[in-house]
Structure 1
């Protein structure tokens, strides 16, 4: 239990931020999972569409300060590589 008024306020703020960050991190993970599901099912159009959505969600999470920009870039790059490999394989 906090002993000072300011410490009590920090407990409230920390909990609020924890819930906010959890919401955005979950949203990012779900967006990436949807892309990977589309890649696994070999649906090129759906994979491209979901890749755009996932990139948008990751960029928003960066702007909101939930994840670091390099983390978002790494995740976008990894997912994009899988989508591009699917597209390349579908063309051959």
Structure 2
């Protein structure tokens, strides 16, 4: 256990950051899975409503990834790679 004030503070900060990291990472994973299932639906139907749904989903994923990068949850290249992969999947559909 921590013996001084700064070590106790670091424990609290680590817990806070851990919760924040888990929130962003799990949210991005969840939205990505939803995006991929919507993408499969769009490939079958090719309807405009599905395309709009994909665009909205992609923008919300981008937003979370960018916020995660800003809060040091993701490295710059990791965030860029995730966004690029999703954009390429949408473009290929």
Partner of 1:89: none
Whole-angstrom CA distance in 1 between matches of 2:88 and 2:79 = 14
Q: CA shift at 1:54, angstroms?
A: 1.0
State the distance in 1 between where 2:68 and 2:52 align: 25
> How far is 1:58 from its partner?
0.8
**Which residue is equivalent to 1:45?**
52
Name the Cα RMSD after superposition: 1.3
1:61 counterpart = 2:68: yes
SS of the residue 1:66 aligns to: coil
What residue number does 1:90 align with? none
**Structure 1 runs (4+) greater than 3 angstroms displaced:** none
TM-score, normalised to structure 1, is: 0.82
Structure 1: 5+ residue runs without aligned partners?
A: 87-92
Deviation per CA, 1:11-36: give whole Å up to 9, x if none: 11111111111111112212212211
3-state SS of 2:74 partner: coil
Count of residue correspondences: 86
